[in-house]
Structure 1
């Protein structure tokens, strides 16, 4: 019982996995980046990177880096959004549940920084 209401606890539909340690912050700078970064799930597959950026910039503030991930095997995508200011990331947490395309986006604090992509030379 919670107050006067019965509570039903159901098994999770998703596995709770620990973050791969190689993705965790490696320096004080990366820890600071995490305070400015949010992790977004349930992003409509039809939404572009520019649309995600515009959504957050119009509500929260300047986006400095954005990584939109996903494939056609899943019906939704995820994104890491890094802001110029930590305050913008805090505002972004309040966007959870807002419609981005046709889906309510879920926003949570990021445990990992958005690192620049490393380009590997192709082997010939």
Structure 2
């Protein structure tokens, strides 16, 4: 079974049941079925995390959050019922990867993916498949240096956007390649 991403592989097709017309009682019920997991080793995948929690209840959604390059990340896991979420709390302290995870009752439901941020056409999807996001680029490194670095390892760069501000001493880049 596939977990994560945009709705793939979930029993409910990944569609969220919480929207502006949903009653507060229904929202509270979804929150009671959701746990917050912290201190997740950066090498642990959504699939591995969900596999741990499938042992205590049926998982509806598993959403990994945080910078994938950070040592520790966090996640939200929603179960079909409150019993699954309560049982999941007992997994706090279980070592997954190199660290014991912390499992707490969630204060929020899993936020739905905003469809306006997703690629809408085949061209946009294809462009996304050829684009990488790069962080922690020293401000002394020029756009030409970044382009040369990626072209020497990965292939011809079609477009490069190097972004930064005055508050941070590093920058980020979106690098779009000619070939995927």
* Cα drift, residue 27 of structure 1: 2.0
1:83-122 correspondence runs (5 A): 83-120=79-116
Q: Distance in 2 between matches of 1:81 and 1:72?
A: 18
Alpha-carbon shift at residue 28 of structure 1 (Å)? 1.6
Instruction: Give the deviation of 1:101 after TM superposition.
Output: 1.4
TM-score (norm 2): 0.51
Q: Runs of 4 or more off by more than 4 Å in structure 1?
A: none
Task: Report whether the alignment pairs 1:56 with 2:53.
Answer: yes
Q: So what's the TM-score if we normalise by structure 1?
A: 0.72
Segments of structure 1 that go 5 or more residues without pairing to the other structure are: 1-24
Alignment of 1:7-86 (within 5 A): 27-58=24-55, 60-86=56-82
User: How big is the alpha-carbon RMSD for the aligned residues of Structure 1 and Structure 2?
Assistant: 2.2
Distance (whole Å) between structure 2 residues aligned to residue 89 and residue 114 of structure 1: 14
Range with greater deviation from structure 2 (68-77 or 84-93) = 68-77
Q: Which has the larger radius of gyration?
A: 2
Q: 2-side partners of 1:72 and 1:86: how far apart? A: 29
Deviates more, 1:40-49 or 1:71-80: 71-80
1:46–1:32 CA distance, 2 compared to 1 (3 A)? same
**Conserved 8 A contact 2:50-2:59:** yes
Higher strand share: 2
* CA offset digits 1:3-37 (Å, max 9, x no partner): xxxxxxxxxxxxxxxxxxxxxx9722111001100
Q: 1:73 to 1:48 in 2, by over 3 A?
A: closer
